[in-house]
Structures are given as C-alpha cells and as structure tokens.
Amino acid sequence: MEEKKFLEGGGEGISRRDFIKTGLAGAAAVGLAGMPLDALAQKAKPEALEFKPEKGAVLRVLRWSVFVKSDQEFWDKNTKKWEEATGCKVITEYISWEDVRSKAAMTASVGAGHDIVLGWHDDPHLYPDKLVDVTDLATYLDKKYGGWEPVCLKYGINPRTKRWICLPVGAPSMCMNYRISWMKEAGFEKFPDKIPEFIKLSKALKAKGRPTGHAMGKAVGDGNNTWHWWLWSFGGKVVESDGATLCLNKQETWDALEASKELYDTMIPGVASWLDPHNNKAFLAGEISLTGNGISIYYAAKEKFPDIAADMDHANMPVGPFGKPAELHLFNEAFIFRHCKVQQAAKHYLLYMFEEPQYGPWIEAMRGYVTPSLKDYKKLPVWTADPKHTPFRDTIGRMLWTGYAGPVGTPSAATMAEYVIVDMFNDVCVGGKSPKAAAAAAQDRAARYYKPRAPKAPAKAKEEPKPKEKK
Amino acid sequence: MSEKFVERMIKFYLPLFIFLFFLLFPFYWMFITAFKSDAELYNLKLNPFFIHEPTFKNILMLFKETLFNRWMFNTFFVAILATILSLSASLLAAYAIQRVRFRGSGPIGISIFFGYLVPPTILFIPLAAIIFQLKIWDSLWSLVLIYPTFLIPFCTWLLMGYFKSIPKEMEECAMIDGASRLRVFWQIVVPLALPGILSAGIFAFTLSWNEYLYALTFISTTTLKTAPVGLITELVRGDVYHWGPLMTGALLASVPVALVYSFFVEHYVAGMTGALKE
Amino acid sequence: MRISENIAIQPGKRPGRRWRWSGLLEDRTVMGMAFVAPAVGLLLLFLAYPLILGIWLGFTDTVVGGTGEFIGLANYISLLNDALFWKVTYYTFLYTGAAVFFKLLLGFALAIVLNREFRAKGFVRAIVLLPWIIPTVLSAICFWWLYDTTFSGITWVLMKIGLIGHKIDYLGDPTNARIALIVANVWRGIPFFTIGLLAGLQTINPSLYEAASIDGAGGWHRFRHVTLPLISPLLAVVTTFSTIWTFADFQLIWVITRGGPANATHLYGTLSFQRAIPGGQFGEGAAISAFILPVLMISVWVCYKYMRREE
C-alpha cells in the first residue's frame, strides 16, 4: 500500500485521520472494485446516476487547444454523438493551454461565460465555491473504472468541504527522453532509475560531446515539472502539510541545489531562458541527448525524423534520496461553474465524455499525450502497442501535487506562477548564488503568498454561510 | 558627376540599405521559414538563409487545417468597423474641442488624451464584467466597441492638430454667408481635413489589426477569432510550434495592411504633416 | 452652470425636427457637447469605469473568483518591500529609456534619409512601416526563433565568418536577454518615429535651409539650428507616445522570455499579468499596473505643456 503513505501529506481543514482514510479507500478501490469511497460514496450503485439534460441546453466548454490533431477529432466526434443523443448543443472553445487559466479566471470572477472548463493544476481550488459539486460523478466513475489514481484525490477534492469539485481528466505528463545509441556510447546499457546514476549518465554524455538540456526558464510545463521533481526527489518541499509552515530553506533543498549544479554543467547553453518548446527543437535537431518532456518529441520524430524516433526512448524520472518517485506533471481537470444554467446537461455531458466508449478512444487517439486519471484506462492498448509509450502510462501514479506537502490552493498557484522553485535553481546554476542564499530568498518569496494570506483566506471562507452551497 | 554619385551613395543609399536590412531581415526569416519543412528547419548543417527544398505544405496546412480565411475576414470586419466608429467619434470631438471651443473643451481635451495612458492589463478583468452585462461577450461587436478606447485618444489628438492647420477664415466666411455650423462642418471642414482623417484612419486600422489581449479574452468561438489569436491558438500545440504555418500566417496577415500602406503612405505622411503644420 | 445642465440633457432628448436640432447646434456649448458626446461616452463606459474598478482592485486583497476586502495601501507596501518588484522597476525604466532613445535616434535618422526624392519612394516608405504593421505576437515569435541559442541565423553567420567561437546565449544570460528584448522593441518601434518625423520634416520650408546655407552653415549646423528647433514639438509628442507604449509593453516580453531568465526581463506589465492571472492575486496585479499610471501621467503632462507652449 505504497499509495497510502504517498498521500500522507495531509491537508488543510481536513483532519489527518480522515484524510488517510480517504486515501486508503482510494487505494483499496484498486483491489476491491466496488468498495465505496468512504464518506464520499453514500450513493449506491453506479447505475443510479441519472441526469436529465435540460431541453435545448447549450453548453459552453473551454478546453486547451490540442496537442495532436486526432485529439480534437475524437473530442469533437464524442461531443457530436452526445449532441445527437440529447438534442443539446455544445460550443467548444479551444485556446492554447497556457491561456486556459486566464480565461477560466475571468469566467470565475465575472460569473458568466463558459459552463465547463478543462483547467490546469490548482484552477478549481482557486475558486472552489464557484464550482458545482461533482461528488456523485466522481464516486460513480471511481467505482466503475477501477478507481482514481491517488493524486486525483488531492486535485479533485476540496479539502475544506471534502467534496469533489472537479473531475480529473488526466496528466499530460513528462518522462526522460533520451537517445539510445548515445546512452550506450556513454557506457550505460539501461536508463538509470536513481538520481546519482542519472547525474553520472549526464556527465558521461557531456564528456562524449552530447550535452543534455532541461528547461530552466519560465516554462509552465517543462520548467516547473523538472525542478519540482528535482527538489522533491531530494526530500525538499516548500511547505509542510499544514499549508502554513514554510520549510524550503533546509538541508534537503540545499542538497538539491548543490546537485543541480552538477546537472547544469552537462547542459547546453541557453537553458536558462528555455520555454516549453525549446527542448523539443534541440532534441529533434540532435543538439541534446537527454531532456525531460512529454511524448510530443517522439510524436514529432515519428512523423518527420524517423531516424531519431528509432533511436530514442523514454524512462520515468529517476528516484532521488527521497526514496520514492516524486514527480510533477501537468494535471488537467474538468469542472462545472455554478453559474451554468443547465447543470444537469453539464453533468450528463461530462459523465458521457468520461465513459469508456468515449474516453477510451479519445485517450487512444492522443497516442500517449495524456495519462488517464482512472486506473482501468491503463489497460488501453495504446500503452503497450508501442513499448516507448509505456513509461507514460505510469507517470500519474508517481506524481505529487502542486504545493506539496500543503494543500492545493491559491498560495500554491501563486508560488508556482511566480516560478519560485525554477528561479531558485536558476539563481544557483546561472546566477551564481550560494544554495543557502537562493533557498532563503525563495522561501521569502513563497512567504509572500503563504504567510499573510493563507491563515486569513480559509478562515474567511469558513465564515461564509454554508447552506448556499448545499443546493 | 561621379563624385556626386559617391556622395549620394554614402549619404543616402548606404544608410538606407542598412536600415532596410535591419527592418526587413526578420521578414526574410519569416519568408524562408514559411517554405521550409521541419526536417530542414532543424537541420543545423544546412545554411539557414536559403531554402533547400521548398515545400508548400505549410501554406496548405494553414488554409486546409485552420480557418485562416475566416479569421482574416473577422479581423477585417472588426478593424474596419472599429476604425469607422473611432474616426467618427474623434472627428466630431476634435472639431468641437479645437474649433468650437465651448466651455469645458480644454479639460475634456485633456481627459481624452489621458485615456491613452491606461494599460490594457489593468482593464481587461473589469472590462469583462461590462462586456457580459452588455451581452456582447463572444461577439465581434465587443471588440468593435472596445478598440475605440485606445483609438479615439490618438485620432482625436491627430485631428485636433489637423483642424488647427485649416484657416479659420474659411469657416467664418461661410458662416457670414449664412451657412449653419453643421453645414460648415460637413461641407467645408471635413473635406479639408480629409488627409488628416485618412492618416488617423490608417493608424486606427493598424492598431485594431494587431490587437491581441482583448481579442483573446473576449472572443471564444473559433469561427469568431481574429487572425493573430487564431494563429497562436491553433498552430501552437502544447510545446510544439508549427513554425512554417505560423510564419506563413504572420506574413499573410500583414500583407493587407502593407498594401493599404503602400497605396496611402504618401497621404498618411501628408495627413500627419497637416496635423503638425502651424 | 445652467447652460451646461441644459446640454447634458439635450442630446438625450433628441428633438425630432431637424430645424430644431440645427438651431440648437448654433449654440457653441450645445454643439460642442453634442459633438464630444460619442467619444466621451465610449471612453467613460469602456475606459474610465473599468479603470476606476481596476484602481479600486489595487486597494483590495481580491484573489481570483473571490471578493476582496479593502486593505488600504497594503498591496503597495508589500510591493515596496519586494526585492523582485525593484528589480522589475529597474528593468522597466531601463527598457523604456534605452528603447525610446534608440527608436528616436534611429527613427529620426531614417526619416532624414527618406526625406528626399528618389525612385520608388512610396514603396520604400511603405515597406519601412512593415515592422509596425505586423501583429506583435507574430513578430515576437519570429524574434524568439532568431534568438534561439541553437538555431539562430545570426549566430550561424557570426560563426561562419569566424567572429565568435561558441554559440551566443541570447536569452539565457540576463544581460544579453535584456539587450535582445530592447533590440526587438526598437525594431518594432522605429517606423512610428520615422513616419511621424518624416511628416514633420516635410513641413519645413526649404528656403530656411537655403538661407542657412548662404550663411555658410554646414550640414550639422543646419540640422542643429534649423531642423531640430522646428521639429522639436513634434519630437516631444512622438516621444511621449512611444514612451507610453514602451513603458506599458507586454506582448513582446511575454512571448519571448515571460520575464526570465531569473526575472531579469520582467516589466510592470508582465509582472502584473503574471501575478494577477496565473498567480490569481488580482489585487496585487492591479496595484502593479497602477504603478504605470503616475509615470504615464508625468509624460503626458510634459507633452501637454510642450504642445501648449508651441501654440
């Protein structure tokens, strides 16, 4: 029951015991399919879930614009099927994934606009009171499809009310991308699964004139993912599970920073300002031998650079002194706004899209881009059809959440948006700061969001009249 | 003769060439990128300044896989309407402030000018609320109504300057002849100010054409997007940039405005000149 | 006072008959007010009102999707204690100062070059405007590619002719990144200066130059004592406009570096956006935006004084 421990981070507002119970139940659901999800699952069997879409309902859906074309094809196809089945209408807006947050924030603060948003990371926890409770859907799906991956509980449940406020869609996740032949040249037969060997491999590659490259600029995905993974893998973290005690300026962080210098020495020039696309370009041009990225490089290589596709492979991010996988990936969840006037239709639509006949082919069509949030979908052929896809299947089970070990919420979102962690590594590797100075500065930056606001905001939220929510 | 040529060379052609090189180099880069395949783009062994195996796939992708035509139409629609709206409002306002000199015209003139200062980043969230209340969210009309906020101040300023250059006597003569102020405005002032109106119009058109933040925020439906927003949202897929089609789109999106300019640039300069004449 | 009350009501009343309309319009104040009404109305609704809301936001602790409480100057005080904010302030001024200076210098130079008769004059003047015409997001993407350490064409040339031995890290090194972004901004802004100043140059009566030449004035002298004084009011106006845009710049930085590396290239505009939208701190974001206002006020005031004096 690795997953139980994994979730011990706990949460604000929710007692530790409660939380472990929830986590345990989530984990147990793998083995004992159908076991109710603790407090969340008072409802009976999956069949009981019935929604009646309002007549002539029009749903406005906001989602990220596709990574692969087939994504949109299948998403639109599924939507069309639903429209035909219900007589309702869906207007889907695709915008670049990084802009979803801006638009969703606008929708939330104005209280009008999109009904359903497929947002990222902390989005639903920035405005939990504006979202429709989807505990019924979450419970149903949990039972029907082998249970949610453990991290989904962190992202899906509002720690204060212990209700689900969104449905985790999946994680467009990251693995190490490497060139097989170059790794062998450097004297490694297998990709290392521990960080010390990983550093050795990077050094050996560099010595052979094959530098590595990891985004260290303001790359929302690659930059944050890489450096959170690195920090956590050394046991460092920004905040304790109480969500208020900052603990970044500690030995673990200093170790991580010290080690990052060794890794940085193996990288090509320019990484300090790399955004998400840079490593794709450099890898495809054969300039770097190793980088952390989604499956997009492999996909582009298969289409346009077959030689590289044949010579590259993926591996899960190596494990550090922390002793267990501690990865960060982009995380996507679907949520319904309360201002939606056709909530039955919205729930019906979301559920429809999550059901196997729709969700399965859709995940298949994305060819490994998005790792599904429900365990049964791990069995889809896409994960084994090409062995190079397989590492991506397991990423979501290896991940922690933004703001670990605290709760997901406004402070974690602000800290990440501010690139506190990425900048900290940048300061040491590029800016020449000492690890201690960099960690102290980063902790101060994080404190801007954790200290003055964190104790206040939840307190205020608790005072809010609850009855309104339970409509 | 040849000395004169050398002088002209040094004083004119050489600097002109250097300037043109600096200003146009990125366009050349876009142009060649538009015709390169990804394989060529990422091949560091090739000379990046030539197209080795020209491909038309990028252009095809732009027109076949995206709604580029539609976005161009939307951009035109918004730019033209916003320009007309801003021009009309500015024309009236500038005339009133500069010529009618009514009580309070000074402060109003200044406040309009100050309107130019407000950065969109501070405005767009509060604006969103207004747009929703007016029920023009996700409609091109929202842009038509918002763009004048940054067009009117400049246009008004430019036209005020231009009205200053029109001799007052002409108006006064016509008024003595018994023409009403309104008629004087329509039949004498507006025709005389035409070059200025044209400059302001071109200016307004360009700014509306390029606007990004509002178009991104207030438009949702794919078929209603403007060209810059459409290109970015559809051709940047996750961490993969479709450089070829993006650059093709960038070039094609600037062509219409460039054409407008090449026809009108002399008038544009003349219009600005009028605005500046004392 | 009575008169102006009248006016405020009149446009709304819409007297049906044409003659009454025009009769009323003979009154200066009525006509003036009626004429400025559309412009003022649009600006009030879509600019002044949201601006006031925005400024109010800066005095609250509003976060995304929440309602904030009035917290006075807390946002501002917290910003003044934020080392990053000062770093951003520094670069915002550096960026604006350097970019406007070079735009002015180069734009003016180009205007002087173009201020003569030559073949294809119209065409050249039009293509010179291209950088200003192309949507900024897209030209920024092009610059981004040109500044790529690995793929930059500039690096390729410099290496080929043997000027440099290793690749230049345009955007990874803080100093380089700062310069690179200023260059991109200058590239985009030159045409605005050129066209504006070219217009001014054309209004200068050639006989003034002739007179100066007869007095034995050289090229520099003519520029210093004829061109410059005549064009300086225009110069002030064009510079003010450019200062406003540059100071509040957002797109260019957001596309190319997002403020990196290590926050070396953040401007008020980008920091405000980063904290307000991805960070969810609406109040703080609005407070940063509000820092833009005083600077802009001052520049407009300077410009306005200048215009008035020339009148």
* Closest in B111, B254, B273 to C199, CB measured: B273
Residue-by-residue DSSP string for A161-226: TTEE--EEEEE---EEEEEHHHHHHTT-SS--SBHHHHHHHHHHHHHTT--B----SS-TTHHHHH
Task: Give the confidence band of A451 by pLDDT, cuts at 50, 70, 90.
Answer: low
C154 has a pLDDT exceeding 80: yes
Q: What is the number of other CB atoms lying within 10 angstroms of the CB of residue A356?
A: 13
CB proximity B256 to C under 8 Å = no
pLDDT tens across B178-215, in order? 777 778 888 888 888 888 888 888 888 888 988 888 88
Verify that A299 and A432 share a domain, yes or no: yes
Verify that A110 and A153 share a domain, yes or no: yes
Give chain A's domain count. Answer: 2
Task: Give the whole-angstrom CA distance, residue B208 versus residue C35.
Answer: 24
Verify that A188 and A266 share a domain, yes or no: yes
| Within-domain flag for A38 | yes
Task: Give the confidence band of C291 by pLDDT, cuts at 50, 70, 90.
Answer: confident
Whether C284 contacts C275, CB under 8 Å: yes
Q: Which of A60, A93, A296 to mutate to test the interface with B (most CBs of B within 10 A)?
A: A93
What number is the average pLDDT over the span C85-107? 94
Verify that A366 and A420 share a domain, yes or no: no
HSE, CB side, 13 Å, CA atoms: give it for residue A315.
18
* Closest in A216, A270, A275 to C149, CB measured: A270
Give chain B's domain count. Answer: 2
Mean predicted lDDT score pLDDT of chain A? 85
CB proximity C140 to B under 8 Å = no
| Within-domain flag for A1 | no
Q: What is the number of other CB atoms lying within 10 angstroms of the CB of residue C81?
A: 11
Among C115, C135, C140, C173, smallest CA distance to C270 is for C140
> What residues of chain B lie within 8 A of the CB of A94, using their CB?
222, 233-234
pLDDT tens across A105-159, in order? 888 888 888 999 999 998 999 999 999 999 999 999 999 999 999 999 999 999 9
Task: Give the whole-angstrom CA distance, residue A168 versus residue A141.
Answer: 11
Check B238 against A276: CB less than 8 A apart. Answer: yes
At A276, which CATH number? 3.40.190.10
Verify that A86 and A182 share a domain, yes or no: no
What number is the average pLDDT over the span C254-260? 86
CB proximity A205 to B under 8 Å = no
| Within-domain flag for A97 | yes
> What residues of chain B lie within 8 A of the CB of A214, using their CB?
none
Of C100 and C261, which is predicted with more confidence? C100
Whether A417 contacts A455, CB under 8 Å: no
Verify that B156 and B182 share a domain, yes or no: yes
Q: What is the number of other CB atoms lying within 10 angstroms of the CB of residue A2?
A: 11
Task: Give the whole-angstrom CA distance, residue B113 versus residue B136.
Answer: 27
pLDDT tens across A206-228, in order? 999 999 999 999 888 999 999 99
A259 has a pLDDT exceeding 70: yes
Put the strands of the sheet holding A175-179 in their side by side order: A290-293, A175-179, A312-315
Verify that B244 and B268 share a domain, yes or no: yes
Verify that B23 and B160 share a domain, yes or no: no
Verify that A340 and A383 share a domain, yes or no: yes
| Within-domain flag for A4 | no
Q: Last residue of some domain: B16, B31, B55?
A: B55
Task: Give the whole-angstrom CA distance, residue C244 versus residue B29.
Answer: 29
Residue-by-residue DSSP string for A115-144: SEEEEETTHHHHSGGGB---HHHHHHHHHH
pLDDT, residue C62, reads: 84
CA distance C178 to chain A (A): 12
Cα A354 to chain centroid distance, Å, stands at 18
**Residue in this structure with the two tokens 């934020």, named with its chain if needed:** C82
pLDDT, residue C164, reads: 81
Residue B110 in tokens: 């200044």
Whether B148 contacts C42, CB under 8 Å: yes
Highest mean pLDDT among A17-31, A340-354, C131-145: A340-354
Verify that A165 and A181 share a domain, yes or no: no
What number is the average pLDDT over the span A80-102? 90
Whether A105 contacts A403, CB under 8 Å: no
Mean predicted lDDT score pLDDT of chain B? 84
N- to C-terminal Cα separation, chain B: 39
What number is the average pLDDT over the span B118-124? 73
Task: Give the confidence band of C309 by pLDDT, cuts at 50, 70, 90.
Answer: low
**Domain(s) of CATH 1.10.3720.10: residues in chain C:** 73-310
CA distance A105 to chain C (A): 6
CB proximity B216 to C under 8 Å = no
* Closest in C54, C137, C199 to B212, CB measured: C137
Q: What is the number of other CB atoms lying within 10 angstroms of the CB of residue B59?
A: 17
Check A105 against C84: CB less than 8 A apart. Answer: no
Residue-by-residue DSSP string for chain B: -HHHHHHHIIIIIHHHHHHHHHHHHHHHHHHHHHT--HHHHT-TTS-TTS-SS---HHHHHHHHHS-HHHHHHHHHHHHHHHHHHHHHHHHHHHHIIIII--TTHHHHHHHHHHGGG--HHHHHHHHHHHHHHTT-TTSHHHHHHHTHHHHHHHHHHHHHHHHHHS-HHHHHHHHHTT--HHHHIIIIIHHHTHHHHHHHHHHHHHHHHH--HHHHHH--SGGG--HHHHHHHHHEETTEE-HHHHHHHHHHHHHHHHHHHHHHHHHHHHHHHHHH--
- Give the SS3 label for residue A266: coil
CB proximity C98 to B under 8 Å = no
A37 has a pLDDT exceeding 70: no
**Which amino acid appears at position A407 of this protein?**
P
Q: Which domain holds residue A234?
A: 175-328+403-450
pLDDT, residue B259, reads: 77
Verify that A65 and A165 share a domain, yes or no: yes
* Closest in B44, B129, B239 to A285, CB measured: B44
A455 has a pLDDT exceeding 60: no
C39 has a pLDDT exceeding 80: yes
Check B116 against C43: CB less than 8 A apart. Answer: no
CA distance B86 to chain A (A): 27
Cross-strand bridge partners of residue A290: A178
CB proximity B132 to C under 8 Å = no
Verify that A323 and A444 share a domain, yes or no: yes
| Within-domain flag for A220 | yes
Of A30 and C100, which is predicted with more confidence? C100
A376 has a pLDDT exceeding 90: yes
Task: Give the whole-angstrom CA distance, residue A423 versus residue A416.
Answer: 10
Whether A286 contacts A308, CB under 8 Å: yes
- Element holding A371 (H helix, E strand): strand A371-372
Least confident stretch, A297-311, B156-170, C103-117: B156-170
* Closest in A126, A423, A448 to C65, CB measured: A126
Check B254 against C289: CB less than 8 A apart. Answer: no
CB proximity B212 to C under 8 Å = yes
Residues 6+ apart with CB under 8 A from C159: C165, C167
CA distance C160 to chain A (A): 18
pLDDT, residue A433, reads: 92
Q: Which domain holds residue B200?
A: 60-276
CATH number of C73-310: 1.10.3720.10
CA distance C26 to chain B (A): 6
Q: Last residue of some domain: B55, B76, B95?
A: B55
> What residues of chain A lie within 8 A of the CB of B245, using their CB?
none
Verify that A285 and A355 share a domain, yes or no: no
Verify that A96 and A191 share a domain, yes or no: no
**Residue in this structure with the two tokens 């500069």, named with its chain if needed:** B98
Verify that A220 and A336 share a domain, yes or no: no
B66 has a pLDDT exceeding 50: yes
Q: Last residue of some domain: B14, B37, B55?
A: B55
Verify that B97 and B198 share a domain, yes or no: yes
Q: What are phi and psi of B77, to 5 degrees?
A: -55, -50
Check A427 against C261: CB less than 8 A apart. Answer: no
Residue C217 in tokens: 């004035």
A470 has a pLDDT exceeding 60: no
